[in-house]
Structure 1
Amino acid sequence: MNNLSLKVSSRIVVLDIGMYIFRYVSDTPAHPRNSSLSLHQAPIGKGAVDFFPASGVVRNTLTMPGDCVVVRVKGAQASVLITEYHPEDESATIQLRIDQISTFPSGPKPSEPSPVAPPRTVGLKLNGHIETRGDVAVEDEWLGVPGTPLRLEGFSVDWQDQPKDVNLAYLCRSGKDSEPQIALAGQFVGTRRQAKPITSVAFALTGQRAAHYELSGQAVFGGQPPLDIAADKELSGPNGTEQLVALRLVITPKAAQVSPPASPWSNTATTQIFRKAK
């Protein structure tokens, strides 16, 4: 873009310790075409901030709907500087959504059992690349074979008929100290045809209706018994070097729901934001 005059605006969001997804969303087809939004740690708060961009996101910069960055705040409260760049002739604004990935257990169960049938699981299609077998797709069953040494080198999870206001986030690492690859439902993590193992995985539900669903399943690392998947818990073998060989994931709608309190992240009036426009 030669000789393009830009409008720049900034704001700061203050976050408590936890995990968050910053996502570029759009409710209309006419989203800003030449605009972008970047994320950096701001000097407010004593905590540290780590950024884990999704595939295709460069330098923590969101350029189109669907782009996202997972943000981890650790140690203490910290802040993120959000900077938007718009051409002078662009009137639309970027819609940024911030969802906290809950690390708290669900609320208490009803005191009396409900006389209804167990809820059905949602439809999940797992796609993966398995050593010597190539690309494999399964629905509601194991991706890979427990008890074999064949590496599951990469995978994606497609949520069929995915409802609004809830999403599945997942990550994997290809080494004990490697940076994680992070994605949302439908996106691929890991590798293909690189003989590179996955040594840890984690899964979480996010969004305003995340509390209406339960996440479960198992992951198997080479030579080890299955490990139960729990929301926001990173799983690996005892040495952190064992390779992932099989994966099974289940999402179940909770049968009896009491509406959870509104998330503070859906109401900008309750979020600490400091704005400075240039």
Structure 2
Amino acid sequence: MNNLSLKVSSRIVVLDIGMYIFRYVSDTPAHPRNSSLSLHQAPIGKGAVDFFPASGVVRNTLTMPGDCVVVRVKGAQASVLVTEYHPEGESATIQLRIDQISTSPSGPTPSEPSPVAPSRTAALKLNGHIETRGDVTVEDGWLGVPGTPLRLEGFSVDWKDQPKDVNLAYLCRSGKDSEPQIALAGQFVGTRRQAKPITSVAFALTGQRAAHYELSGQAVFGGQPPLDIAADKELSGPNGTEQLVALRLVITPKAAQVSPPASPWNDTATTQIFRNG
């Protein structure tokens, strides 16, 4: 019987009420290939913590770049125990990025519907289930029609010729206080033939090359002007109950190679981190 020797280190991240996305990122191909990182609620703070892992993530454990878990803190400030496991001889540290998903009810500034994306953008195919129309597929355009009352009940996003080391993550809710459904490119969220509306959506790019791409687009909720999509921003109508009727996404490669944007959670005045190990 082989005895596996592991080096274990842990730290506690203290978070205010809100939603966050924890992502395994890597700036180089030489990421720790046999290491992992797990997330659990820690006993600091009085709030409750819910974990919503993306497809393929088991027991809130991140094992490779691109893995992510959405974390929701309710009631009061709470904390997450982050534990890294490294086999003996593997010393590289896992890079964990934490970003807050803004849930401001005001949302982004409304705008006019935008035209179809130019040809240099990524080739995206949006598949959705629309009230009375059934399953619909569009490429590089609007899924659903802005200005109509027909609800978009579920959707998936296929990324043709998707580059290595970057992925699209998205979530939706079917009701103001419902649990979010989380998926990666190619996976379906929402419902079919259940007459359930989608009342909020959020999108983010993940993976070690996510900073080399820009995410944009628009979402339209019933009776409302289009809202501009921004990474890590949860969008909804002004009351949180308006149903999603149309969606358009654009992913554009950036002209220059840039470093990942600084995370606000690197600021110790914003996030308290306690380490052990």
Could you state the TM-score of these two structures normalised by the residue count of structure 2?
Answer: 0.65
Q: Residue 194 and residue 30 in structure 1: after superposition, are their counterparts in 2 closer, same or farther (change >3 A)?
A: farther
Relative to structure 2, which stretch is displaced further, 211-220 or 112-121?
112-121
Relative to structure 2, which stretch is displaced further, 189-198 or 200-209?
200-209
- CA RMSD, Structure 1 to Structure 2 (Å): 6.6
> Percent sequence identity over matched residues?
95
User: Following the alignment from structure 1 to structure 2, what is the Cα–Cα distance between the partners of residues 167 and 104?
Assistant: 25
Counterpart contact for 1:103–1:232, Cα < 8 Å: no
Counterpart contact for 2:55–2:184, Cα < 8 Å: no
Q: Secondary structure at the match of 1:104?
A: coil
User: Following the alignment from structure 1 to structure 2, what is the Cα–Cα distance between the partners of residues 256 and 107?
Assistant: 29
Counterpart contact for 1:119–1:253, Cα < 8 Å: no
Q: Residue 39 and residue 262 in structure 1: after superposition, are their counterparts in 2 closer, same or farther (change >3 A)?
A: closer
Q: Residue 7 and residue 125 in structure 1: after superposition, are their counterparts in 2 closer, same or farther (change >3 A)?
A: same
What whole-Å deviation, never above 9, does each CA across 1:144-193 have from its counterpart, x for those lacking one?
Answer: 11122111100111122222332222111111122211222222111111
State the shift of 1:241 in Å: 1.3
Q: Residue 206 and residue 267 in structure 1: after superposition, are their counterparts in 2 closer, same or farther (change >3 A)?
A: farther
User: Following the alignment from structure 1 to structure 2, what is the Cα–Cα distance between the partners of residues 211 and 63?
Assistant: 20
User: Following the alignment from structure 2 to structure 1, what is the Cα–Cα distance between the partners of residues 264 and 239?
Assistant: 39
Q: Secondary structure at the match of 1:269?
A: coil
State the shift of 1:225 in Å: 1.7
What whole-Å deviation, never above 9, does each CA across 1:14-48 have from its counterpart, x for those lacking one?
Answer: 78998665579999999999999863212357876
User: Following the alignment from structure 2 to structure 1, what is the Cα–Cα distance between the partners of residues 123 and 73?
Assistant: 32
Counterpart contact for 1:129–1:192, Cα < 8 Å: yes
What whole-Å deviation, never above 9, does each CA across 1:80-111 have from its counterpart, x for those lacking one?
Answer: 34679999999999999989989999999999
State the shift of 1:119 in Å: 8.3
Q: Secondary structure at the match of 1:265?
A: helix
Q: Gaps (5+ residues) in structure 2?
A: none
Counterpart contact for 1:13–1:274, Cα < 8 Å: yes
State the shift of 1:275 in Å: 9.3
User: Following the alignment from structure 1 to structure 2, what is the Cα–Cα distance between the partners of residues 37 and 128?
Assistant: 34
What whole-Å deviation, never above 9, does each CA across 1:236-269 have from its counterpart, x for those lacking one?
Answer: 1222211111100001111233444899999999
User: Following the alignment from structure 1 to structure 2, what is the Cα–Cα distance between the partners of residues 182 and 108?
Assistant: 21
State the shift of 1:54 in Å: 3.2
What whole-Å deviation, never above 9, does each CA across 1:192-249 have from its counterpart, x for those lacking one?
Answer: 1110000111112223322221111111111222111112222112222111111000
Q: Residue 136 and residue 42 in structure 1: after superposition, are their counterparts in 2 closer, same or farther (change >3 A)?
A: same
Q: Secondary structure at the match of 2:19?
A: strand
Q: Residue 84 and residue 168 in structure 1: after superposition, are their counterparts in 2 closer, same or farther (change >3 A)?
A: same
Could you state the TM-score of these two structures normalised by the residue count of structure 1?
Answer: 0.65
State the shift of 1:128 in Å: 0.8
